[in-house]
Amino acid sequence: MAMRRIGSWEILISRRPLSTTDLASRYGAVSDSWERKARCFQLNAAYQKPFVTSQIATLLAQFGPKARVLDCGIGSLSIALRSILEDQVEFHGIDTCADMIAQASSIMQHAGLSPYLRQADVQSLPYDDQSFDLVMAAHVLEHLSDPRRALKEMIRVLKPGGMVFVCLTRPSIFGALVQFRWRTWAITEQQGVAWLQDCQLADIGYQPVHLASCAGVASTAFWARRPKCHPQMKGLL
């Protein structure tokens, strides 16, 4: 939000995010070229690095082949995760855009994954409380009018001891272009960490994400663990 004071006047200019329907239709229009974009920015390699730093593979290994992973705004993140895991896990994914789900389904099958996919909104997930060991989202929350609401919803479906992992566009020249095109937020490291702290998560970490094709350090990966005894269980979230 930008604010200017002129004499006794205060002028506020704030971003109006796209509605869920408009966003789904815009992503529908680019879904055919999404795989090409993912290759161009080398998303697979970019996401693998913070996955390794966050030691997500070690966490999932504790849960064995029955480990359940939910990818919100499905796609490249699941493929990157699969490429660093030794063991199978159960992949689930949601997206509001049917065409993006169809794309993700075909790319993931090609990568040897058989995900359970549903058309749904990250702000209102169609899953029971505490159903997943890892809940993640890449470049989804910054599209929303209230990203923290979606984050809390992701934590609701996270098991105690499980991990939340989100990649968010950060302030940069590339971030400004994305912001202009998609009306997204650009989120600083401090803001992302504060959101995770507000949700009373533990072991918070973050790492810049380097994208290829001159996009540079255009986003940040954040991760945190849901403590075994978490306020959500007492209805505080």
Ligand X SMILES: C[S@@+](CC[C@H](N)C(=O)[O-])C[C@H]1O[C@@H](n2cnc3c(N)ncnc32)[C@H](O)[C@@H]1O
Per CB under 6 A, 76 contacts ligand X = yes
Per CB under 6 A, 220 contacts ligand X = no
For ligand X, which is the closer residue by CB, 43 or 199?
Answer: 43
Per CB under 6 A, 138 contacts ligand X = yes
Structure tokens at 76: 């490249």
Sequence-distant (6+) residues with CB within 8 A of 102 are 31
Per CB under 6 A, 203 contacts ligand X = no
Q: Is 161 left (phi over 0), alpha (psi -120 to 50) or beta?
A: left
Q: Are 72 and 48 a contacting pair, CB within 8 Å?
A: no
- 8-27 residues in contact with ligand X (CB under 6 A) are 20, 23-24, 27
- 103-122 residues in contact with ligand X (CB under 6 A) are 121-122
For ligand X, which is the closer residue by CB, 19 or 114?
Answer: 19
Q: Which of 129, 145, 161, 157 is nearest to 227 (CA)?
A: 161
For ligand X, which is the closer residue by CB, 90 or 121?
Answer: 121
Q: Are 161 and 70 a contacting pair, CB within 8 Å?
A: no
Per CB under 6 A, 147 contacts ligand X = no
Candidates 72-80, 109-117, 205-213, 221-229; binding stretch for ligand X (CB under 6 A): 72-80
Strands 158-169 and 132-138: parallel
- Helices 98-110 & 20-30, crossing angle to 10 degrees? 50
- 81-100 residues in contact with ligand X (CB under 6 A) are 94-97, 100
For ligand X, which is the closer residue by CB, 60 or 168?
Answer: 168
How many amino acids of this chain bind ligand X (CB under 6 A)?
A: 24
- The dihedral built from the CA positions of residue 148, 152, 153 and 159, taken in this order, carries a sign that is positive
For ligand X, which is the closer residue by CB, 76 or 130?
Answer: 76
Q: Is 158 helix (H, G, I), strand (E, B) or coil?
A: strand
Residue type, 30: V
Which one of residues 59, 67, 69, 77 is an interface residue with ligand X (CB under 6 A)?
Answer: 77
Structure tokens at 156: 């609701």
Contacts with ligand X by CB under 6 A lie at 20, 23-24, 27, 38, 43, 72-73, 75-77, 94-97, 100, 121-123, 138-140, 143-144
